[in-house]
Amino acid sequence: MNPEHHSLSVTPAAPRRGPAPALMPIEILLVEDSPADIALTTELFKDARILNHLTVAMDGEQAMAILRREGPYANANTPDLVMLDLNLPRKDGREVLTEIKSDPLLRRIPVIVLTTSAADRDVLQAYDSHVNAYLTKPVDLEQFMIIVKAIEDFWLTFVRFAPAPPRPLSRVQ
């Protein structure tokens, strides 16, 4: 399975930002290194009521390359929402969060941390870095499904996302 790009489309969504057409999918970047969590999240978003497109990054460096449209990701869409694990290879999720929220072109993208860590220091550090929500992954499959459904119900149904910033003509690489 190539987890880099998944197109998940279900039913028409409400307008997602500004004048975007109602049939535009909500762009989600899932930053996760666990194949089992990727597979489960992918399946749950396939069943979502909201039209969405899920892109998967398996490590922090790949996530930043997608977000910054570098190399093979030059034509990537800007995500409307990032779901971020903290414990990632190559570049830690904490670093990814800090980079996203420090970048004027990325900082308005909502980031939800979905991680196994329930440590107070991780929660505090994430909120100090301007995370939009911090969720601890449950061990129980049914509880995990409830959390993903809650993300869909709130973030994909009710939230109005900021308009995407103008796309730069080119980035120095």
Is the confidence at residue 97, as pLDDT, over 80?
yes
| CA-closest candidate to residue 49, choices 25, 84, 78, 76 | 25
Beta-strand ranges (E) seen in the chain are 5-8, 26-31, 52-57, 81-84, 111-115, 133-136
CB atoms within 10 A of CB 68: 19
Is the confidence at residue 26, as pLDDT, over 90?
no
* AA letter at 60: G
What's the chain's average pLDDT? 82
* 3-state class (DSSP) for residue 120: helix
Q: pLDDT tens for residues 145-163?
A: 888 888 888 887 788 888 7
Find where tokens 């690489």 sit: 173
- What domains can you pick out in the chain, each with its CATH number? 5-15+23-156 (3.40.50.2300)
Higher pLDDT pick, 11 / 123: 123
Residue 142 CA: distances (Å) to CA of 7, 33, 34, 37, 68: 24, 21, 18, 13, 35
**pLDDT in the model for residue 167:** 62
**pLDDT in the model for residue 7:** 37
Is the confidence at residue 12, as pLDDT, over 90?
no
What is the C-alpha to C-alpha distance for residues 90 and 23, in angstroms, rounded to an integer? 36
Q: pLDDT tens for residues 32-53?
A: 999 988 998 888 888 777 788 8
